[in-house]
């Protein structure tokens, strides 16, 4: 071959090519390395032992020992300066006891790897599409469920009202003519009907909220006055269980923009829950305090407390904790979920702190200026 | 929406492999209520055609082309809340690439268009084996089967697949399309019957989606 061309080729191999080109002696010390190899390892390789870079010589170890060099391609795994192991294929040439190694990236392997990555990416995208499709279907099903729930609950309210009305009429008109057993039966009919009506009202609330129909009628309101009123109303029920309700509102609280009926529903739910799960002789405290742009209401009981593992499910619909009411009061499992949605609708926050055997405190905070339109 | 400025900025981000930059632009456009048609046709399709052109001219590597495709697939996913919100018409379509066809993005866009117009667009993806497709058609009983090829070498395969479908489902509407038909190939389906080659997403809408009841 033309010596000038060979010399040009050698310069190209050492200076510009994108293949690894090394020469080393039988002791494994690198005598020369080209620019590409130096760049790949991030340092000049000249004078360094090969084993610092090549972690597995494979068949090439035998080649080195016996000096039986052939231009057959041999696999070598190396550690690059990036820390990732890579596999290269080398051809070895022996020249005056100096071994020359010429290697290149195994494009076939890189191609296979790239194809696999593309397959994985494609699969991931297709699964993402499926997930979105399924989610959209679930949203539609949920809307349908809410619509059904709303219609069913609404249509059931009238018959329940009639049952309640007639049982109440019988109690009033015929009480003296009925045996005590029959009076008990009528009381059971009335009590059960009341609970059913309460459940239906809550189901209507849930279906309206979940359908995005939480329409708030916002007005500036005296929250402290609302707290007092609600505490007084519940004090009658609490007294039956020898439970006392006290209100502690010492700070000046400005009027807050809120939906009065809905916040009253929240207060009523939290206070009546506290009565439901408290033992006779205890006190329920309702307090208000200011903090920044928010006012916070706390309903504190000295009840049984809720195990910490169960507090997460408190605000989810139809979820119940292991804590039982103290006088056999019934619960729909929907109240706190509705309460949470009302507070979130006001762009407020609701949370709970509880300790078993000590009591539970429910907090909710509302922005003083009312919810800001998104 | 589409101005040259937005398009050029998006294309530059795409070619640079800047996934987050592309995502930001697409999310901004979605927030501005840009239509799916504008995003799909004027941005995703146009930019990928340009990527293909650059690849053909040896100006970008196959790796860059793959990266651009991969990013575009992710960008399409950002549009899904808009796509899957449509009221369903009860009609169904099965959309797939032929065996050996690995470019699936065009077919995926077609599947999404079906969804956008209230159809159930079942997308089987790239390189779908013929037997798998036949089984899927038996199960889903679609109103339309859409077959896609992006490289013209797969013309014979798409014809073979159409014949196989026609053999078992004589009345099923088959539509075909994709970049594989760029240089022609419509005649491949002569004598099969009820096979339409669709040249664009607009044609799909016009012929099958807007007037679907009439067309079927």
What is the predicted pLDDT for the residue at A288?
Answer: 94
What is the predicted pLDDT for the residue at B216?
Answer: 38
B108 touches chain A (CB under 8 A): yes
Question: What is the tens place of the pLDDT at every residue in B100-137?
Answer: 898 899 999 999 999 999 999 999 999 999 999 999 99
Q: Comparing A141 with A285, which gets the higher pLDDT?
A: A285
Nearest to A129 among B77, B88, B102 (CB): B77
What is the predicted pLDDT for the residue at A79?
Answer: 54
Question: What is the tens place of the pLDDT at every residue in A90-127?
Answer: 777 777 777 777 776 666 777 777 778 888 888 888 89
What is the predicted pLDDT for the residue at A76?
Answer: 67
- A122, B74: Cβ pair inside 8 Å? no
**Gyration radius (Cα) of chain A, Å:** 40
Residue A6 has pLDDT above 70, yes or no: yes
- For the segment A159-175, the average pLDDT, to the nearest whole number, is 85
* Beta carbon pairs, A and B, within 8 Å: 41
Q: Residue A58: pLDDT band by 50, 70, 90 thresholds?
A: very low
Answer yes or no: pTM beyond 0.80. no
- For the segment A33-50, the average pLDDT, to the nearest whole number, is 84
- B125, A121: Cβ pair inside 8 Å? no
B70 touches chain A (CB under 8 A): yes
Query: What residues of chain A lie within 8 A of the CB of B81, using their CB?
Result: 132
- For the segment B75-96, the average pLDDT, to the nearest whole number, is 90
Q: Residue A294: pLDDT band by 50, 70, 90 thresholds?
A: very high
Query: Minimal Cα distance from A128: which residue of B?
Result: B77
Query: What residues of chain A lie within 8 A of the CB of B115, using their CB?
Result: 133
Query: Minimal Cα distance from B116: which residue of A?
Result: A133
Query: What residues of chain B lie within 8 A of the CB of A135, using their CB?
Result: 84
Q: Residue A77: pLDDT band by 50, 70, 90 thresholds?
A: low
Per-range mean pLDDT, top range of A58-72, A218-232, A316-330: A218-232
- Rounded to whole angstroms, the Cα distance separating B88 from B113 reads 13
- The percentage of chain A sitting over the pLDDT mark of 90, rounded to a whole number, equals 25
What is the predicted pLDDT for the residue at A86?
Answer: 64
- For the segment A209-231, the average pLDDT, to the nearest whole number, is 86
Note the ipTM here.
0.76
What is the predicted pLDDT for the residue at A114?
Answer: 75
Query: What residues of chain B lie within 8 A of the CB of A118, using their CB?
Result: 66, 70, 102
Residue A63 has pLDDT above 60, yes or no: no
- B63, A129: Cβ pair inside 8 Å? no
Tokens of A111: 């191609």
Question: What is the tens place of the pLDDT at every residue in A265-280?
Answer: 899 999 999 999 999 9
- For the segment B34-55, the average pLDDT, to the nearest whole number, is 92
Question: What is the tens place of the pLDDT at every residue in B148-159?
Answer: 998 888 899 999
Residue A61 has pLDDT above 70, yes or no: no
Question: What is the tens place of the pLDDT at every residue in A142-151?
Answer: 888 888 877 8
Nearest to B125 among A122, A135, A140 (CB): A122
Query: What residues of chain B lie within 8 A of the CB of A123, using their CB?
Result: 125
As a three-state string, the secondary structure of chain B is: CCCHHHHHHHHHHHHCCCHHHHHHHHHHHHHCCCCHHHHHHHHHHHHHHHHHHHHHCCCCCHHHHHHHHHHHHHHHHHCHHHHCCCCCCCCEEEEEECCCCCCCHHHHHHHHHHHHCCCEEEECCCCCCHHHHHHHHHHHCCCEEEEECCCHHHHHHHHHHHHHHHHHCCCCEEEEECHHHCCCCHHHHCCCCCEEEECCHHHHHHHHHCCHHHHC
What is the predicted pLDDT for the residue at B183?
Answer: 82
- A132, B125: Cβ pair inside 8 Å? no
Residue A82 has pLDDT above 60, yes or no: no
What is the predicted pLDDT for the residue at B165?
Answer: 96
Q: Residue A53: pLDDT band by 50, 70, 90 thresholds?
A: low
Q: Residue B122 forms beta bridges with which residues? A: B94
Over chain A, what is the mean pLDDT? 83
Nearest to A126 among B80, B81, B125 (CB): B125
B61 touches chain A (CB under 8 A): no
């Amino acid at each position: 071959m033309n010596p000038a061309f060979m010399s040009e080729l050698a310069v190209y191999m050492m200076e510009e090519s994108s293949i690894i080109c090394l020469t080393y002696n039988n002791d494994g010390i690198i005598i020369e390395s080209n620019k590409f190899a130096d760049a790949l390892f991030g340092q000049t390789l000249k004078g360094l032992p090969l084993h610092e870079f090549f972690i597995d010589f494979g068949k090439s170890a035998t080649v080195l020992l016996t000096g039986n060099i052939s231009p057959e391609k041999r696999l070598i795994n190396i550690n690059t300066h990036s820390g990732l192991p890579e596999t290269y294929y080398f051809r070895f040439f022996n020249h005056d006891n100096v071994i020359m190694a010429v290697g290149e990236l195994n494009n076939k392997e890189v191609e296979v790897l790239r194809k696999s990555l593309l397959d994985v990416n494609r699969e991931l995208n297709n699964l993402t599409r499926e997930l979105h499709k399924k989610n959209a279907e679930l949203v539609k099903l949920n809307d349908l469920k809410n619509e059904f729930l709303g219609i069913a609950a609404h249509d059931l309210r009238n018959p329940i009202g009639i049952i309640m009305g007639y049982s109440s009429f019988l109690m009033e008109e015929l009480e003296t003519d009925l045996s005590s057993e029959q009076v008990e039966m009528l009381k059971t009919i009335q009590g059960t009907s009341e609970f059913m009506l309460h459940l239906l009202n809550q189901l209507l609330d849930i279906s309206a909220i979940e359908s995005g129909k939480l329409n708030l009628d916002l007005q500036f309101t005296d929250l402290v006055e609302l707290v007092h009123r609600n505490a007084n109303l519940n004090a009658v029920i609490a007294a039956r269980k020898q439970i006392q309700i006290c209100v502690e509102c010492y700070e000046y609280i400005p009027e807050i923009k809120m939906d009065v009926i809905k916040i009253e529903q929240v207060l009523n739910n939290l206070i009546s829950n506290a009565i439901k799960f408290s033992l006779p002789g205890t006190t329920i405290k309702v307090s208000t305090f200011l903090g920044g742009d928010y006012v916070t209401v706390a309903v504190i009981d000295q009840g049984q407390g809720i195990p910490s593992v169960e507090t997460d499910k408190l605000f989810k619909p139809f979820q119940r904790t292991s804590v039982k009411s103290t006088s056999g009061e019934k619960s729909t499992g929907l109240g706190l979920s509705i309460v949470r949605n009302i507070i979130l609708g006001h762009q407020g926050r609701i949370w709970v702190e509880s300790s078993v055997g000590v009591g539970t405190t429910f907090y909710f905070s509302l922005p003083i200026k009312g919810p800001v339109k998104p | 929406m589409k101005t040259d400025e937005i398009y050029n900025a998006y294309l530059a981000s795409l070619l640079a492999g800047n996934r987050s930059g592309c995502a930001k632009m697409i999310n901004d456009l979605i927030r501005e209520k840009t239509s799916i048609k504008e995003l799909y046709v004027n941005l995703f399709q146009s930019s990928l055609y340009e990527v293909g052109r650059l690849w053909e001219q040896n100006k970008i590597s196959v790796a860059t082309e793959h990266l651009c495709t991969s990013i575009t697939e992710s960008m399409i996913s950002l549009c899904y809340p808009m796509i899957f919100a449509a009221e369903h018409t009860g009609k169904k379509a099965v959309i797939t690439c032929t065996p050996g066809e690995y470019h699936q993005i065009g077919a995926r866009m077609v599947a999404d268009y079906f969804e956008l117009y209230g159809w159930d667009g079942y997308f089987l993806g790239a390189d779908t084996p013929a037997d798998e497709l036949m089984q899927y058609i038996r199960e889903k009983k679609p109103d339309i089967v859409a077959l896609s090829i992006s490289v013209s070498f797969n013309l014979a395969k798409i014809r073979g697949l159409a014949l196989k479908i026609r053999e078992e489902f004589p009345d099923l509407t088959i539509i075909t399309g994709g970049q594989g038909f760029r240089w022609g190939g419509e005649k491949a389906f002569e004598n099969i019957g009820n096979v339409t080659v669709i040249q664009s997403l607009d044609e799909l809408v016009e012929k099958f989606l807007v007037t679907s009841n009439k067309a079927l």
